[in-house]
Amino acid sequence: VPRGVLSALGSRQVTLADSIATVQAALEGGINFIDVSPSYGETLAELRLGRALEGVPRESYILATKIGSYSEPRGDYDFSRASTERSVEHSLKRLGVDYIDLIQCHDIEFADHDQVIDETLPTLQKLKEQGFVRHIGITGLPLKIFPSILDRVPPGTVETILSFCHYALNDTSLGGMIPYLQEKGVGIINASPTGMNLLTRRGAPEWHMASGTIREGCRKAVQHCDSKGVDIVQLALQFACDNEAIASTLVGTASPENIRANISYLEQPFDRQPLPGVMEILE
């Protein structure tokens, strides 16, 4: 089962050396799925990942990137045919590869869904036929966006969905959609098993969309785990990866130490004993 690294390589605080070391640690540790986007660091993540993958056998990893979102701070979204073709061409150059395993429409809650169905997906299908991409997916935060596309396209048009923050200790709402996605034959990628740092000692960043109530509940869960000698990040990652219906789980880091720690968590037996107490707090 592929385990992924949701690229944090676009941060201006991260060095190229850290980026390369993190990717190398991931690949050496058995991770074989790497997810990135032109919007991460406004192409910086793709550029750094391309450097990190130099000399790595192409068949040894599964590479995913995206189209449609190019700068979240500027609200730069473009799902047109011309932009999609140009984006794939530029991603291939930045990443230094001949093909992309999985190309995804990025954060389609910001897209006109008629355009995605009538223009974006047919463009990606054409690029697939030409061999530049091998599989097509969609990503986004609100779960309702997935049926709004999947119910309107022929089976096999969209092969994967990437959801984030919706299958973690504090939010398992993606679980309710799994039977629907299985019926559609769509692979499931789950990102952010710590809820984008909600379930860490560091806590969520200021820009996080979580309410004060959710933040406080997660802080209490972290404190509870600390008092019991439980590493909540290990618990959160093992919990997310325990669901066999989810094909891949993405974690985001640009630290080789963190990626090695994440790998080690999954190599240890899953101790479910702390779960009821944590779940009771998070309820």
Q: Tell me if 22 sits within 8 A of 255, measured CB to CB.
A: yes
265 is catalytic: no
Report the C-alpha gap between 278 and 268 in whole angstroms: 19
CA-nearest of 102, 1, 5 to 48 is 5
DSSP class of 164: E
**Distance from the first to the final alpha carbon of the chain:** 30
Which alpha helices (DSSP H) does the chain contain, by range? 16-28, 44-52, 81-95, 113-115, 121-129, 145-150, 178-184, 212-227, 232-241, 256-267, 275-282
Contacts of 156 by beta carbon, 8 Å cutoff, 6+ apart = 185
Q: Tell me if 254 sits within 8 A of 11, measured CB to CB.
A: yes
Could you write out the DSSP letters of every residue in 122-144? HHHHHHHHTTSEEEEEEEESSTT
Which residue among 40, 61, 70, 77 is the active-site one?
Answer: 40
Tell me the catalytic residues. 40
